[in-house]
Structure 1
């Protein structure tokens, strides 16, 4: 077979509302040399879609801004007809959002105007090469897909999923007892290694959509790489990263590391699409039994969590001695002592000082595991959230802890984890204080209305505070600040006002008035009435009736 015959002949359509751009592209590329046949050009989105439906191209090269239908909509509609259509965006608008949206539809590249001949040719050659690779591995890929679906592959995946769901401190023997129910004998017909991969976006730029897209792209890149070697693998995605088990009795270590580094290079080539993109991977030692493989998976989880210590954009092997999680009781004791001194919870400057003190404590230790760091950061977070809860009982502590734990996985350095904690605490306190400003007046009005409506009788202060959404201590302080009276003083005032009205009714006795005003002891009622108004109930009645 000649070199020319080996080149895949792919059909391509160009869509751009600028005719001179379409002509330029036609003349920039030596189509025969790279193995592409130009099927036609269109100057608006609707015409382009009609041309795609008629010509069935393999590649679409399209602008974003076009009349009738923009490029992104064109890609979406075209891929509904042909999901394997390879798409390239060209645009004069360097906009991350457009590129990111395009990637969601499987866009392979993003070229800026003015179009560079070298960039365009390189991109098109890459698509032709990928097509050749897809053809060459098609039969083996079909075989591998069938293997994944069969009895053994299903249980291998269930095995990995089960182990990853366990706590890191759970004994391997206990996990083994559970996975033995999944037919462990079939799982370990071959030796295996665990590879943990973490493609990451800094938490300051993190969005669910962009991270999910990055994870999908990383998984796609890794699967293409592994397929090219005819390796048998399974994968599972967790918050900690993407975990692969590769099964082979003759898995060449050097070849494996080269492949992981190749995956790293391809992922990092997406830097233009994902700001501050990072990549880390760890490769375990070989495992020859189920319990060994359980240990390798646990080691991989700890190692990928320790990426703060090994540096960014690295591929590293887990050393045989790597079992120790590096837990430091001295660090725990010093952090607990810091909290026992009860740092101020409602002052942002004091919060920052406490986080800084915790950082010095942790950095003073010989940190060998970031598990210990995360544990103590969560300890600090929960201390402050409990304090904030005293101010605002509507605060959802679990939601905050869950959010912090998720964002922790997107930190790129130890320093950043402390900034995350400080940002989380200060932002939460600010939100609590703002929330209280909006809520304070209404609860006081509610309490006053409730007390007056019930004439100050049978008022349970703890229950009243609870109904306003605040703790009794905080609400008492708030009520005094807004009314100038304590809750007890206000209730007393309402009861005396009730008694004053009842005393104008001549037919009621003083004892009856006292009882209706909520006083069981007439002597106590008389003392309180005189203390408040300076006259006894009898004297008040005479003053009123003599007017």
Structure 2
């Protein structure tokens, strides 16, 4: 039996969870109910549960602190968090500690069952209690799922579409679907959250939630349905009878309403439902995919948190290419001198022009942003600056840019990515420029006892004396002679404090051949004669 603890400060919520499902059917048992974080932690110590269902905020230790402490007591303890408020920061912190799922109040039986089944499968795999028959079934199911996912790969733009003449029978045989004659349609749930790394874990949880909601709201209407998640977009292929078209439309609205409820826990996230054209032939599914993709991209124009109807790209006006041409000309000039601020202003100006230009589609807007980044990379290569490292990875840029739900957010990301890259390049250039100075300083410290000259030191780093002298002053704030004197005086001070060498010997040890000159230099540097310094500090 999988032992479960329920933790919520509202007893009626605890009893609801307890009575909502048949726990024995899931091979689970309620081991205890806690009404605050302290009680919950005590139960973790005493009962060693496998799963805890906990409110995100409770008396005693709040949900996050309790999860952190409980994780320290039991590394394999699974968690499902529940919340009825906009507690995005709490949810994000909980996800960092490995929370597997979340539920929104009021809790629905089907949501709870879906979460419990996932936890159960995870627990069984970990405890190696799956029978051979079940393992074989899972392997066959996994193989079927892979074949079904191949359909999405073949629908992607730029890849092979379905074979000519393919009908439901051929597609069913190739991809293991159960399509019937009727309508074929693609829709997409787009999750937007910005480009920051902190949202990666939340996107994975929302992916599962989107699949659950799609299945619950649309499966009963369709002959067959399949989903595929690609970064921040859940794609869905539908096959249904023509007479179900109106019902499907209503269910799509319900689907969006349920997605919007998730904002209670993830208020900084946005959801868009893009719908592709319903096609009469399975062979035309790629057209539905393209129109759904275009609909999703239109959120950059009409906004997120809405359902966007099927649409096809209009004929291009050439406006996007005109904006890029002007941007490229300015970018080239500013990058040649690595003027970070001018490049930043150039990108922000491009974003402003995009917002003012009413003729551009969402597809064209994203095209401009991605091409602007490509132009930046191209100019870096032309300047012999290494790319494809750090901030210059194109694939990563496109993935994170695709999570931006508005023009302003998209171009703010482009700006942050490019300026961050330029900062790195400037720092590397500074390190390269100053490396000879660091080498020269090291050479001086190793050889200050000899009669060093500017010509000798500059020669060791491959610079002319004039250029070296200018660069040395710029990087250290002092000229070569002053720096050499400072090194010698610091060593003289050490010898006077820590040894019994007389002044003449100290003078010789630090590279001076004239004791009178040494004494004069020492007094200028410290304000004291060598013997006076020794009396005070030895």
On whether the aligned pair clears a TM of 0.5, the verdict is yes
Query: Alignment partner of 2:226: what SS?
Result: strand
Match of residue 320, structure 2, among 331, 337, 342: 331
Q: Which moved more, 1:211-220 or 1:308-317?
A: 211-220
1:189 lines up with 2:164 in the alignment:
no
Task: Give deviations 1:59-107, integer Å, cap 9, x for gaps.
Answer: 666958399x9445658999968x8x9654799x973444434783224
Farther-moved stretch of structure 1 (288-297 vs 200-209): 200-209
User: Which residue of the partner structure matches residue 370 of structure 1?
Assistant: 362
How far off is 1:198 after superposition?
A: 0.4
Looking at structure 2, the residues matched to 40 and 335 of structure 1 have their Cα atoms a distance apart, in angstroms, of: 63
Shift of 1:382: 3.1
Secondary structure of the 1:159 match is helix
Cα distance between partner residues in 2 of 1:201 and 1:96:
14
Secondary structure at 2:347 match in 1 = helix
Correspondence for 1:301: 293
1:281 Cα deviation from its structure 2 partner = 0.6
1:239 Cα deviation after fit: 3.6
Partners of 1:241 and 1:185 in 2: CA distance = 25
- 2:393 corresponds, among 375, 380, 400, to 400
2:103 to 85, 102, 108: 108
Paired with 2:151 and 2:341, the residues of 1 have a C-alpha distance of 48
1:349 aligns with 2:375: no
Where does structure 2 lack aligned partners over 5 or more consecutive residues? 22-29, 117-136, 443-460, 472-538
- Deviations, residues 98-141 of structure 1 (Å, cap 9, x unaligned): 443478322425xxxxxxxxxxxx64xx3457569999xxxxxx
Corresponding residue for 1:540?
Answer: none
- C-alpha separation in 2, matches of 1:101 and 1:220: 22
CA deviation vs aligned residue, 1:306-332 (integer Å, no higher than 9, x gap): 2112321111220xxx33354332431
- Counterparts of 1:270 and 1:133, CA distance in 2: 16
**What's the counterpart of residue 161 of structure 1?**
153
Partner of 2:132: none
Where does 1:116-155 land on structure 2 (aligned, <5 Å)? 123=106, 126-128=107-109, 149=141, 155=147
1:115-264 equivalent positions in 2, closer than 5 A? 123=106, 126-128=107-109, 149=141, 155-164=147-156, 166-167=157-158, 175-177=161-163, 183-184=170-171, 186=173, 189-190=180-181, 191-203=183-195, 207-227=199-219, 229=221, 232-239=224-231, 241-250=233-242, 252-264=244-256
Asked if the contact 1:281/1:315 (under 8 Å) is kept, the reply is yes
1:267-346 to 2 correspondences below 5 Å: 267-318=259-310, 322-340=311-329, 342-345=332-335, 346=338
Aligned-partner Cα distance in 1 for 2:386–2:292: 39
| Cα drift, residue 409 of structure 1 | 0.7
Please tell me whether the aligned partners of residues 187 and 276 of structure 2 are also in contact (alpha carbons under 8 angstroms): yes
Answering whether residue 26 of structure 2 is matched by residue 65 of structure 1, we say no
Q: Please give the per-residue CA displacement for 1:209-258, whole angstroms capped at 9, x wherever unaligned.
A: 22222223222332233345575211111246111011222462333233
Q: Give the structure-2-normalised TM-score.
A: 0.60
Cα offsets for 1:192-220 (capped at 9, x unmatched): 21111102212357532222222232223
Q: Does 1:48 align with 2:46?
A: no
Per-residue deviation at 1:432?
Answer: 1.4
Structure 1 unaligned regions, length at least 5 = 1-10, 110-121, 136-144, 450-467, 469-474, 486-547
Q: TM-score, normalised by structure 1?
A: 0.59
Number of matched residues? 405
| RMSD after superposition | 5.0
CA-CA distance at 1:278 after TM superposition:
0.4
